[in-house]
Amino acid sequence: MEHDIDKAFAELGLTPDATEREVKAAWRRLVSRWHPDRNNGADAVARMQRINRALEAIRQAGARKAAAPGGAGDTAQAPAAAARSRAGEPSDDRATSAGDDPEAPVRTLHRRVRLTLEEAAFGCTKVLRGKVTDDCPDCNGAGYRVLGGHCPQCHGSGAIRQPMWFSWVGVPAECDACHGGGIARQACVACAGSGKTETRRYKVTVRFPQGVRDGDVLGVAGRRGRPDAPPGDLSIRVEVLPHALFQLDPDGTVRCDMPVDGFAWLANRTLAVPTLGGLQTLQLQRDQVVHRLVGQGFPVERRGARGDQLITLQPVFPQRMTADQQILIDQLIATTTGTDGKPSDARLRGWSEALGAWKGQQAPG
């Protein structure tokens, strides 16, 4: 029997000299980890049964020791009475929550937030609002409270026989009263067994740093104790929306393809061009269609130096010209012809001479 008690303590990760408080803390910690409502593993149910049986074995051993001559008296209801009597701790007969574990992992709420390219580049502050249901504080989300002792429906086995077509044939099934734990329990009165509180609204202000990228995940620590706070930490995935004017390269370069009046381009006019920070004035050059704006792109790293912006001009000319436009074009063409009737530009003159020589070679001999 002593060997079985040692195994029960070992199942809870304790030594036989553990105090009642240590037994309770170990049991709650293991329940928080292995309860099927929180653990989807294939062995979660079996592990929960072993954990509960270990607690029950320690409880019964304490009760037997207390009832023996020279024992601690009638304290059979208190779990781990033997451990308590060794440590001289006060009795605690209250029913315990199945998930009452201060070391349980903090709940994380996942959100997705969409940012414009400008917001992602310069950083921004967003107020996130939503609705959430918290775990019931009375049962810590378990939906029930452990009473102790064997489950009256399955007699502590954690399983019942499910009848089939014939009354004498049945298959084992998880007990629906204790959900396989084998220990008696009752639905939590505060939440009517749901494990949740009523839905409430929450609000949290989040600061997004400069240079966040699409797909980045930001963590925000929860602010417990505030009635409008999230139920735990926030995990925020950033989604940068497509931009109507800009394309972002991985190196922080921002590209912009911009149509421009062909005649204004020929005349080297100035033009207002868009950047992430607003409009800027650009001096056009008729021999240049790609302009680099240094430091006007996206941050290469968070809060780091910004990349460049590349503006590719697309000169647009009228597909059909009016009579007045055609006259002006003819006048412009005439200005490129010298007094000898040949083009004044050296490149055009060279091409004209090369073409004439080629034509002479093609003449029939």
Domain ranges of the chain: 2-94, 104-136+197-242, 247-316, 323-362
For 242, the 3-state DSSP assignment is: coil
Query: What is the per-residue pLDDT across 80-118, written as a single tens digit (0 to 9) for each?
Result: 333 333 333 333 322 233 333 434 445 688 899 999 999
Give the C-alpha separation, 61 to 80, whole Å.
8
Is the domain covering 104-136+197-242 a CATH 3.40.50.2300 domain?
Answer: no
Give the C-alpha separation, 226 to 20, whole Å.
33
Asked whether the CA dihedral 317, 318, 324, 330 is positive or negative, the reply is positive
Nearest to residue 32, comparing CAs of 116, 152, 171, 140? 140
Nearest to residue 280, comparing CAs of 317, 316, 247, 254? 254
Token pair 């099934």 is at which residue?
173
Query: What is the per-residue pLDDT across 25-72, written as a single tens digit (0 to 9) for each?
Result: 788 878 877 777 677 777 777 888 888 888 888 887 876 676 565 554
Per-residue pLDDT tens listing for the chain (365 residues): 555 787 888 788 777 888 888 888 788 878 877 777 677 777 777 888 888 888 888 887 876 676 565 554 433 333 333 333 333 333 332 223 333 343 444 568 889 999 999 999 999 999 999 888 877 877 777 777 777 677 887 877 777 776 655 555 556 777 877 767 777 778 888 888 888 888 888 888 999 999 999 999 998 887 665 667 776 788 999 999 999 999 999 999 999 999 999 999 999 999 999 999 999 999 999 999 999 999 999 999 877 899 999 999 999 999 999 999 999 988 888 888 777 777 888 888 898 889 888 988 876 65
Tell me whether domains 104-136+197-242 and 247-316 share a fold: yes
For residues 81 and 75, is the Cβ–Cβ distance under 8 A? yes
2-94 is classed in which CATH architecture? Orthogonal Bundle (1.10)
Give the C-alpha separation, 21 to 15, whole Å.
13
Give the C-alpha separation, 129 to 205, whole Å.
9
| Residues pairing with 172 in the sheet | 161
Nearest to residue 100, comparing CAs of 108, 92, 89, 91? 92
Give the C-alpha separation, 5 to 78, whole Å.
17
Q: Say how many C-beta atoms besides its own lie within 10 A of residue 41's C-beta.
A: 11
Give whole-number Cα distances, 193 to 39, 106, 136, 216, in Å. 19, 22, 9, 38
Is the domain covering 247-316 a CATH 3.40.1010.20 domain?
Answer: no
45: its two tokens: 């149910």
For 130, the 3-state DSSP assignment is: strand
Asked whether the CA dihedral 257, 261, 263, 264 is positive or negative, the reply is negative
Nearest to residue 144, comparing CAs of 108, 104, 176? 176
Helix, strand, coil fractions of the chain, as percent rounded to 5: 25, 30, 45
Q: Which amino acid is at 8?
A: A
16: its two tokens: 């036989």
